[in-house]
A = this chain, B = another copy of it.
Amino acid sequence: MNKIFKPYYAVIFTSTHSKQVEGYFEMAEKMEALAIKQDGFLGINSAKDDVGITVSYWQDLESIKKWKQNSEHLIAQQKGRNQWYSWYNVRICKVEKEYEQLLP
């Protein structure tokens, strides 16, 4: 890669779900729509099987901190802990390198 790569950040959220799913998908959708509007937001991907993985991408650590403390997001986090998740892990990562391929 010859082009200049500017590091950015990824938040890897990995979770397993409890048996209570009520309200989860609506909230997940709402939170994604809200995240997109935040300063420093760059992108998000989610997939769910036995384990759920959501990776959101951010310009800097300050944006991640603000999003974590967003009042609506705080309510969602609380509900997640109380109802939806049986376990979760959050990793804050600096993206140092990236390559992408669109295939024919």
Would you call A34 an interface residue if the criterion is a C-beta within 8 Å of the partner chain's C-beta atoms? no
Q: By DSSP majority rule, is chain A's interface helix, strand, loop, or mixed?
A: strand
Number of copies: 2
Give Cα distance in the complex from A33 to B94, angstroms.
27
Q: Is the CB of A91 within 8 A of B47?
A: no
Partner of A103, one of B10, B45, B81, B93: B81
Residues of B contacting A50 in the complex (Cβ-Cβ under 8 angstroms): 47
Q: How many residues of A contact B (CB 8 A)?
A: 34
**Which residues on B sit within 8 Å (CB–CB) of A81?**
101, 103
Binding site for B on A (CB under 8 A): 10, 12, 14, 18, 45-53, 55, 81, 85-103
